Structures are given as C-alpha cells and as structure tokens.
Structure 1
C-alpha cells in the first residue's frame, strides 16, 4: 500500500513543487500568468474532460448519476458555508468571499484526482475524477465568476439576483464549463466521434495534468503566506471537515463502497486553484484564500495519504 501511495502522490506533489520553485525563482513569471491560465482553462482541461466523458457509455454514465449528485451536494454545501463564513465572520466583500468559497468548496480535482485515481484505482475510475471536475465546473465555478462580475459592475454597492443570473449565463461560455456539459449530453445520446477527433482530444488533454500542476504551483508561489485564525479554519475545512462531511453523506444515503471511497478521497484533496485564477482577473485575491491554499498543500500530502489509507482499509 505504501508503494501505491508513493506512486500516486509523489509525482503530483513534485509537479506542484516544480511550479512553485519556478515561480519563486523567476524561471516562470508568477504575476503575468494569463497565457498559462488560458492554456489550462481553455484547452488542456476542457479537452481532457471532453475526451474522458464522451467515451463513457450511457449505462456507465447513468451509474455515475448518484455520484455526481452527491459530489454536487458536498461541493455546494461547503461553498455556501465558506461564502457565509467569509461574509459574516471575516467581513469580506462579495468578490473575496466567492474566491475563498471556491477555494474551500472545489478541491483540485483537475490537477490531482485524474492522475491519483488512474494510478491508485485503475483507468476506469478516472470517470469519477472527471465527473468531479465537471460538476464543479458546471455549478460553483460559473457561480463564482457570476458573483465576481456582478460585484465589479456594481462597484461595491450591492448585487441583484438579476445581475448574478445574467453574469452566470455569460460564464457558461467558458470552455471549462461548456466542454464537460456538451460531453455529458453527447455520451448520454451515444454520440461517437471519429477516431482522429478522439485522438486529437486525447493528445491535447494529455497535457492537462502536468499543466494544471505547474499552474497551481506558479499561482501559489505569487501569493504571500500569512497564517492566522482564518487560514487555520480554511485549511481544516478543506482537509478535514469536507471529507468527513462527504463520508457522512455517502454513508447516510447507503452508497456503494466504491462511491463512498471515491467521493471521500476527492473531498480530501487540497484546495483548487480555480478561485484564485478567477479572482486574479477581478483583483480579488484574499489572503485567507491564498494562504489557505498554501497551507492545504503543506499539510495535504500527509492528510490525503491518511485518508487514502483509511478508505482503502476500512471501506
């Protein structure tokens, strides 16, 4: 089991570390990362998601419905909890609160779940990892963009539901949102792409893991680390409360053993970079989010290994 954990986790955290070192040493520009963001968010991740989901049979997709719904529940509850906490307790603006909420509620499935599941549980399990990215990309990610845009347009005077809905519709035009949604529709209706189209998507998507890991490390390297009470609770929520909540919900609804394991491990993955990437475009990079992200990776290598040991041994 130790060998399996090392094979799964070491390449992931080495990739993150390389990106972090490159950003800190100036090998890569960690301030002007727009081109790298476009590469990851508009090309590699959408292609990886589309190619994985579109090849899923309708039967397998229907079996993933309970998993997708449970992942959506876990992500949404943690997102809402993080947003309310940021607004009421930390007195953050709408923009900063939405960035912190997405950092807490959406684990870094894009960079970690796909290679982790492929190595630990076999290629067939990557559909669950892809589904977790798709769920987060279709739900709380566009909601965050909508809140950021609506808050910017209001100049801090308050937002309306109408403005948020309008911004939400615009957020759906992002490739990382519509690509998995389109793939889900295509897979459900049995659409089969030509071999050259599949090979193209697979080739472009094969860069998703490495580019996502490097981007995460570079983004984190540009953030100032400050450990305080808010960072402590953000880190604990990401690494402990979210997987405990996921485990409790999956057991409560009597899900299968594999579903319990997969959803809990996905929820134990350190915080995702989507929040800081989206927030960077709107000058919203709260220290609680950036420092919480750094802290979650500092402790995440150990906590994720422990969660994998527990879930593999007892479930």
Structure 2
C-alpha cells in the first residue's frame, strides 16, 4: 500500500500542485492553457481511450455475466444519479450538472486502474476484466452521455436567450434575458476573448424561424468530438471481433502517454484560474465519488451473490472508488463549465483517496 501511495497518488498531487503554481505565476497564458486542454481532449485522451478499450475481447466481457452487468448498469446509474442530484441539490444548469457527473460520477479508471489494482490483487485475468469493463463504460458510454447533455443544455440556453431577444426587439414586452451561470457567463463586450476561452461544443447556427430537434442536434454534435467517437469505435471493433494488430499499439501509446501527465497539470492550471472552493458541494462530490458510489456497488454485489468471491468483489469496489476521472476536469476546463467546483473536487478527492483506499481494502472482506 505504501508503494501505491508513493508511486501513484503522490505524483498526481505533486503535478497538480505544480500546475497550480504555474497558473498563479502566469507561466501559461489563456491561449496556452486552452492549447494544453485541446491537446488532451482532442488528441491524447481519444488515443488513450481507444487503445485501452481495443485491448479487451468479447470473451473477457462474457467471462462473468454478473460482474459485467453490475459494472455496466452500476456506472451508468451512478452517473445519472449524480447528474440529477447536482441539479436538484445545487440548482445547476444541465451542462454544469453533466460536467459534475463526468467528475464526481466517474472514476479515473484509465489512469489509476492498473496502477492501484495490480499491486493489490496481482496482474490476473480477473483484474484485467474488472478494469476493462469499468473502463469501457466510463469512456465509451458516460463521456458521450455527458457530451450530449452539455450540448443539449447549451442549445436550450441559446434558444431561450434568442427567444427573449426576439420578444424584446418586437417591443411586445421588455424582458431581461437571464445570464448564464458564473462558469459559462460571457461578457458581450469581450466577445473576441470569449471566443477563445469559452468555446461551446454545439454549432452556432441561429434558431430564427426554425424549430430544431434539440436532442438529435445535441447527439450529432457530441458524436463529432474525438473523445466520443474514438471509444465508441473501439467498443464496436471489440464487439464484432476485429483485433487491432499489436504493431499499431506503440503508435497510439506514444501520444496516449501524454494524456495523464498533461491532464493532471491542466487540472492544476484550471484550479489556479478560480478561487479554490472547499464548500459543501465539494465535500458532497468527494463523498459521492469515494464513499457513496463504492458502497452502492458493494451492496449490489452482495445482493447479486458476489460475496462468495471476495477478491473479485473487492476489485470491483476498488475500481469504482478511484478519484474523479481526469477527462471530466479537462472537459470542464476546456469549455469553462463547472471549473471551480470541478477542480476543487478533483484536488480534494485525490488527496482523500489515500485514506478511503485503505478503508475499502479493509471493509469489503469484513462485509462479505
């Protein structure tokens, strides 16, 4: 366990702190910071997701039906529950709640999965199966869902603002268009700068005279993002049995290796741009990620009869008890949505994982 803390958790904290210091010293300007985020979100992260998923096989997914079912259904349910609770409890917009779910509702399985589970449980078929299942759901299902919700929320905001502006222009009634939330607010007097720092994932076409199918448009725009179609392509290849030659792996691995380090550094830079928020929301997100989610998986696993295989149940619980997915904070920083809460949640959860990791290793065998 000491090796895990020193080799895996401490480097994350140090690199994030380094990014925070760089941000406070203005070592990177806004354009450079956005460039780092774009590199991770559009190049390195899609490559990392693709190569991690295509290494799985259909036989792995079918090796344990109970584990696969709990992994797929559980991750999606906890993701959507996080989304709805964020909207209900903290009154956030659709896109803010979506980013919250990408952070507090998703574990960083691609980055810490093997690093944490292998030293504890060994490099076995069961370990690879658990990591593969959780990785596929997080990367190929919840990220596209989150991107879809972000696009849908942005589209609804634009339609509402457009309708208010049209009504005001006609002189029927004077309406003050509601300003977006703090994380996505844009000063009209600073449009030139806003175009660089507050990019939205949806097309900027006008809604004048047209009633668009917002759901379809949001889905299409989300699927255009490399971070969505890359993992989806990978899972399709796995399901139809197409194996990517091993000789291609180094090509993807080379750029994918930049993902984790740059993502953590960018998270620190994002934290430096906002006031750190050690609020009730940050504490709730940390509790949801590190305590509530693994507790739910532990309970469901016991109800589904996984108590006879304590090791596999413990691996499943540990896989979903990891800190927030760094893809969520990158999306947050890249599009300036839920930045303060997201960066604070990532920082606090990463530090707290050093304690909760030991808690679940001790608690799962006791409950089983």
TM-score range, shorter chain: 0.7 to 0.9
What CA distance in whole angstroms lies between the structure 1 residues aligned with 2:217 and 2:149?
Answer: 10
Shift in Å, 1:221 = 3.5
What CA distance in whole angstroms lies between the structure 1 residues aligned with 2:246 and 2:89?
Answer: 53
Taking the TM superposition and a 5 Å limit, the aligned residue runs for 1:121-270 are 121-124=121-124, 125-126=127-128, 128-155=130-157, 157=160, 162-255=213-306, 256-270=309-323
Shift in CA distance, 7/173, structure 1 to aligned 2, threshold 3 Å: same
Shift in Å, 1:152 = 1.8
- What SS is found at the alignment partner of 1:190? coil
Segments of 5+ residues of structure 1 without an aligned counterpart are none
Shift in Å, 1:249 = 1.5
TM-score normalised per structure 2: 0.72
CA contact (8 A) 1:95 1:148 kept: yes
TM-score normalised per structure 1: 0.82
- Stretch deviating more after TM superposition (216-225 or 87-96): 216-225
What CA distance in whole angstroms lies between the structure 1 residues aligned with 2:157 and 2:77?
Answer: 28
CA RMSD of aligned residues (A): 3.2
Count of residue pairs the alignment pairs up: 314
What CA distance in whole angstroms lies between the structure 2 residues aligned with 1:231 and 1:165?
Answer: 33
Q: Which residue number in structure 2 is paired with residue 43 of structure 1?
A: 43
Shift in CA distance, 144/208, structure 1 to aligned 2, threshold 3 Å: same
Shift in Å, 1:286 = 5.8
Instruction: Flag the structure with larger Rg.
Output: 2
CA contact (8 A) 2:333 2:339 kept: no
Shift in Å, 1:66 = 4.3
What CA distance in whole angstroms lies between the structure 1 residues aligned with 2:24 and 2:64?
Answer: 40
Shift in Å, 1:167 = 1.0
Shift in CA distance, 123/11, structure 1 to aligned 2, threshold 3 Å: farther
Shift in Å, 1:8 = 4.3
Shift in Å, 1:169 = 3.3
What CA distance in whole angstroms lies between the structure 2 residues aligned with 1:64 and 1:174?
Answer: 32
Shift in CA distance, 45/274, structure 1 to aligned 2, threshold 3 Å: closer
CA contact (8 A) 2:106 2:324 kept: yes
Segments of 5+ residues of structure 2 without an aligned counterpart are 162-210
Shift in Å, 1:309 = 4.7
CA contact (8 A) 2:4 2:116 kept: no
CA contact (8 A) 1:238 1:268 kept: yes
Shift in Å, 1:135 = 1.1
Q: Which residue number in structure 2 is paired with residue 275 of structure 1?
A: 328
1:295 aligns with 2:348: yes
CA contact (8 A) 2:74 2:297 kept: yes
- Deviation string 1:19-72 (CA, Å, 9 cap, x unpaired) is 344334444457753322233233333333333332334322322664443233
Q: Which residue number in structure 1 is paired with residue 357 of structure 2?
A: 304
What CA distance in whole angstroms lies between the structure 2 residues aligned with 1:148 and 1:175?
Answer: 15
Shift in Å, 1:181 = 2.6
- Stretch deviating more after TM superposition (172-181 or 20-29): 20-29
- Deviation string 1:187-206 (CA, Å, 9 cap, x unpaired) is 34432334432331233333
What CA distance in whole angstroms lies between the structure 2 residues aligned with 1:301 and 1:161?
Answer: 48
What CA distance in whole angstroms lies between the structure 2 residues aligned with 1:71 and 1:43?
Answer: 27
Shift in CA distance, 177/119, structure 1 to aligned 2, threshold 3 Å: farther
CA contact (8 A) 2:99 2:332 kept: yes
What CA distance in whole angstroms lies between the structure 2 residues aligned with 1:16 and 1:181?
Answer: 29
